[in-house]
Chain A
Amino acid sequence: DSGVTQTPKHLITATGQRVTLRCSPRSGDLSVYWYQQSLDQGLQFLIQYYNGEERAKGNILERFSAQQFPDLHSELNLSSLELGDSALYFCASSVGSDSYEQYFGPGTRLTVT
C-alpha cells in the first residue's frame, strides 16, 4: 500500500458526460501527479500540482482539468467524454516538486460507452 488513495476504483459512463476523479496523496507529500494509461500502453503524464499550484503540464486535453485543494487532495475533471478516454487514470504523489520517486495510487478505471 503506497498510502495514496484514489476514488472511485471503477467508473462507467456514457459519451458526452463529465466525471471527477479524486486523489489523496501520502501524508506529507506536497506534489500530486495525474497520469493516463490506455490498454497495454505506457504512462502519459497529464499534469502536476505542488502545494496547491500547477507545476507542470503534459499532454492534457482541454476537456480535462485538475486542481489541488488546501488539504492537498486533488481532483481530475474529465468532460465531454469520448470513447478514447477509456483508460486507467493514476494519481501519484511525492514530497518535492521534482521528484524521481513517485508513489502511485491504485488507479481509477474509466470506461466510456
Chain B
Amino acid sequence: GNSVTQMEGPVTLSEEAFLTINCTYTATGYPSLFWYVQYPGEGLQLLLKATKADDKGSNKGFEATYRKETTSFHLEKGSVQVSDSAVYFCALSDLSNQGGKLIFGQGTELSVKP
C-alpha cells in the first residue's frame, strides 16, 4: 500500500542554520505531495504542496521538490528561526486510493534554539 517515511526527530538546530527534513514515499499512481506543520497546541496547517513530478512547492522560505525518480519530497529552509519550531508532516494524496485520502508520515519535531 501507499506509505510515507520521514526522518526521525527531534531535530535540534541553532537559529539561521540550514534545515533538511527527508521524506520518501511509496505509491501507486501519481500522488500529490504535501508538507504540513503543527505548532504546539494547534491543528495542522498546509505549508506547501506539489502535484506533479519536478514541481517545487514553496512558502515562508521553505521549499520541497517532487522527485519521482527518487520518490522523495524533502523539505528545506536556508535559515531557520526560533518561530519555526514545530512538528512537520509529509503526506501524500492519491485519488486512486479511495479518493483523495491523505497518508501521513509520522512527523518530525524541529526545535530551533536562539
Does chain A bind chain B? no
